[in-house]
Amino acid sequence: MWIGFGGDLGFYLNNAGAEPGSYRHTIPWFGIVMTALGFVMVVVARRRGPRQVLWATGAWELVDPSTPQEKQLVNVVEEMAIASGLPRPKIWVVPEKDPNAFATGLDENDAHVAVTEGLLTHLSRDELQGVIAHEMAHIQNYDVKLMTLLAALVGVIAIMSDGMARVMRFGGGRGGSRSGGGKKGGNPLAIVILVLWVVSIILAPIISRLLALAVSRNREFLADATAAQFTRNPEALASALRTIEDHHAPTTVVKRGTAHLCIADPLGRRLTNKQGFVADMLATHPPMGMRVSRLNAMAYKFKKTGELSSEV
Task: Please write the tens of the pLDDT for every residue from 191-243.
Answer: 777 777 777 777 776 776 677 677 777 788 899 999 999 999 999 999 999 99
pLDDT in tens, 126-146: 999 999 999 999 999 888 877
Whether residue 196 is contained in a domain is answered as yes
pLDDT: which is higher, 91 or 51: 91
Whether residue 235 is contained in a domain is answered as yes
Give the pLDDT band (50/70/90) at residue 270.
Answer: low
Instruction: Judge whether residue 284 has pLDDT over 70.
Output: no
pLDDT: which is higher, 170 or 39: 39
Say which range, 99-108, 171-180, 203-212, 277-286, has the weakest mean pLDDT.
Answer: 171-180
Q: What is the mean pLDDT of the chain?
A: 79
pLDDT: which is higher, 120 or 50: 120
pLDDT: which is higher, 5 or 211: 5
pLDDT in tens, 14-23: 777 667 777 7
pLDDT recorded at residue 255: 67
| Choice among 108, 127, 135, 245 that is catalytic | 135
Whether residue 311 is contained in a domain is answered as no
pLDDT recorded at residue 49: 74
Instruction: Judge whether residue 1 has pLDDT over 50.
Output: yes
Whether residue 269 is contained in a domain is answered as yes
Q: What percent of the chain has pLDDT over 70?
A: 73
According to the per-residue pLDDT averaged within each range, which of 36-45, 78-87, 188-197 is highest? Answer: 78-87
Mean pLDDT value of segment 173-200? 60
Question: By residue range, what is the domain housing residue 69?
Answer: 2-305
Whether residue 60 is contained in a domain is answered as yes
pLDDT recorded at residue 101: 93
The verdict on whether 135 is a catalytic residue reads yes
Whether residue 310 is contained in a domain is answered as no
Mean pLDDT value of segment 182-192? 62
Question: In sequence order, what DSSP letters do the residues of the chain get, joined into one string?
Answer: -IIIIIHHHHHHHHHTTPPTTS----S-HHHHHHHHHHHHHHHHHHHHHHHHHHHHHT-EE-SS--SHHHHHHHHHHHHHHHHHT-PPPEEEEE--SS--EEEEESSGGGEEEEEEHHHHHH--HHHHHHHHHHHHHHHHTTHHHHHHHHHHHHHHHHHHHHHHHHHHHHTHHHHHHHTTTT-SS--HHHHHHHHHHHHHHHHHHHHHHHHHHHHHHHHHHHHHHHHHHHHS-HHHHHHHHHHHHH--S--TTS-GGGGGGBSS-SS-STTTT--SHHHHHH-SS--HHHHHHHHHHHHHHHHHHS---TT-
pLDDT in tens, 271-282: 555 555 555 555
Whether residue 18 is contained in a domain is answered as yes
* Overall domain count for the chain: 1
Give the pLDDT band (50/70/90) at residue 181.
Answer: very low
pLDDT recorded at residue 61: 95
Mean pLDDT value of segment 58-70? 93
Mean pLDDT value of segment 153-182? 56
Whether residue 312 is contained in a domain is answered as no
Instruction: Judge whether residue 267 has pLDDT over 80.
Output: no
